[in-house]
Chain A
Amino acid sequence: MENSETLSLRGSYNRVDKPSALKIFCKFDIIHIFLAAGRMMSKTIAEINEKIAKGQAVVVTAEEVIDLARKKGVAKTAKEVDVVTTGTFGPMCSSGAYFNLGHSKPRIKAGGGTVYLNGVPAYTGLAAVDIFLGATAIPNEDPRNRSHPGEFSYGGGHVIEELVSGKDVKLVITAYGTDCYPRRKVETWINLDNMNEAVLFNMRNAYQNYNVAVNLGDHTVYTYMGVLKPRLGNANYSTSGQLSPLFNDPYYKTIGIGTRIFLGGGAGYITWQGTQHNPSVPRTNKGVATRPGGTLAVIGDMKQMSPRWLVGSSFIGYGATLTVGIGVPIPILSDEILNYTAVTDEELLAPIIDYFEGYPQRSPDVLGEVSYAQLKSGKIRVKGKDVPTASLSSYSRAVEIANILKDWIQKGEFYLTDPVAPLPGADSGATCKPMQERPFEE
């Protein structure tokens, strides 16, 4: 009985799953029609925010909701619970930050020149003192992989961590000099307080599922998925599974552009779908993406953030990056949404990929699928062999993020936002295309 209702609602969503603010309103109208018919639990974000203001909102984590739904059933739990909080804490390379450094006296134009923060180059192709620092940027003098595997002990992610720790970093600007910006060089200490704006802006975070990396080759490989030992010596994975934001809202029915989130210890927002957002991946009949699917682009004020949730990281032989903490609240607007948040590690399947040959050569072979429950047990079976597993993302920190977000909402310090537009959905046709190389003509 409940199932047939869920299906009919999903059909309605499919028709409005296009990026347009107008159609979002349609989406909520549809929910109200169901409410009027008295057939199904329904709430609005505005109603949930009223409860948050009164200190009456019922908030549980995406881990806690599993047991609740098991004990009380989906319908009863959906009625009782207002918000489910999610969390993830892992290395996310498409992260970075932009800064406005303030104008020196005399003025300098970094655009067209160079900027280094603690020796790490930042992008200057913007106005005079606006710069962008990427998490994977490394000093020019870093030996990289000349002596393989390189260590990559300091990069953009580490600078970001130092800045949110309140530390001074060394800023060096060189410029060509103009009539209005005559200065050629600035060397100074600088910290977050000295800057006008310091904004974390990550163009791809919080992947909805990810590969399990193994090595079928005869020697160790050093990858962004960690050190992979030969002949299936280990298997590395990197998501928080049942706590991960997009695993809990697989069709992006509540998470959209404008959703307020936990980002790096402060409050941030989802600005867009992340790069490589791929909602068209295969899914289980419960909607679980079984390949790397949706992604999020996120933004937030670095001055609110903390080094506990933004940690400079190094992948030996690969590069420097930033480990990012993200938590997304999911408003329980219907039974259907609650049902999604009750997903368990047993139901979440990840593809096993060979990083010796398959991944680097972009050959599509998937060696098999395993559940996050199997991955978390410490070993999986690949090609008839028991392979020990390790995670690159911290589940215990993900739990902590979900609990912090829960606490903020319960205390009335964090309100939910209506998305202003949805992310491209499963039927949008959006995919992640490979590069089509077209050689230059002679």
Chain B
Amino acid sequence: MAKARKVVLRFPHRLVDKPIIYRLVKDYDLQFNILKASITPEEEGLLVLELSGKKKNYEEAISFLTGAGVETQLLAQDVLRNEGRCTHCGACVTQCPVNAFRVDLATRQVEFIETRCIACELCIKACPVRAMEVHL
């Protein structure tokens, strides 16, 4: 069953120039789609991937990554809403390219569906009260 999972990978400086993603394809038969990539010079690499493949392979791949020194995290944990700050205005709703925000038609409250979020960060600065926060 090829289920897509979005993960954030953080590479320490020493691993930035190692061919790691290649191994995910070759050894674990995973397909990947790069959602975001950045390398801070002299610091670390950040890669947001959508991985699909067999569940067993995915789990082994994550173990491999962890063992190699890559920090892995499911993407949903990366963009968070500060619930105390959100006023439920809705300014974010049309900014999100993957419809991760939904207005409840009865309460007019804005629901943040974390599983849909791809951490594009478009909502971060579009939020007037800056309730959306990136945690990396």
Q: Which of B25-33, B52-60, B67-75, B101-109 contacts A (4 or more CB under 8 A)?
A: B101-109
Give the contacts of A295-323 with B (CB-CB under 8 A): 311-316, 321, 323
Please tell me if A378 contacts chain B, counting CB pairs below 8 Å.
yes
Whether A312 pairs with B129 at a CB distance below 8 angstroms is yes
Q: Which of A9-17, A127-135, A386-394 contacts B (4 or more CB under 8 A)?
A: A386-394
User: Interface residue count for B (Cβ, 8 Å)?
Assistant: 20
Please tell me if A119 contacts chain B, counting CB pairs below 8 Å.
no
- Contact among A315, A323, A394 for B90, CB-based, below 8 A: A394
A91 to B129, CA, bound (A): 10
A314 to B129, CA, bound (A): 6
A153 to B89, CA, bound (A): 18
A238 nearest in chain B by CB position: B89
Residues of A within 8 A of B12 (CB): none
B130 nearest in chain A by CB position: A314
Residues of A within 8 A of B108 (CB): 376, 394-396, 399
Whether B88 pairs with A397 at a CB distance below 8 angstroms is yes
A161 nearest in chain B by CB position: B129
Please tell me if A234 contacts chain B, counting CB pairs below 8 Å.
yes
Residues of B within 8 A of A229 (CB): 94
- Contact among A227, A388, A391, A399 for B89, CB-based, below 8 A: A391
Decide if the interface of chain B is mainly helix, strand, loop or mixed. loop
Given A316-B125, A378-B103, residue A388 in contact with residue B93 (CB < 8 A): yes
Please tell me if B87 contacts chain A, counting CB pairs below 8 Å.
yes
Please tell me if B92 contacts chain A, counting CB pairs below 8 Å.
yes
Q: Which of A89, A311, A392, A394 has the most CB atoms of chain B within a 10 A radius of its CB?
A: A394
Give the contacts of A363-389 with B (CB-CB under 8 A): 376, 378, 388-389
Give the contacts of A315-345 with B (CB-CB under 8 A): 315-316, 321, 323
Given A234-B94, A378-B103, A388-B93, residue A396 in contact with residue B128 (CB < 8 A): no
A-B contacts, 18 listed (Cβ < 8 Å)? A89-B89, A151-B125, A226-B91, A226-B128, A229-B94, A236-B94, A311-B85, A313-B129, A314-B130, A391-B90, A392-B89, A393-B89, A394-B87, A394-B89, A395-B108, A396-B109, A397-B88, A399-B108
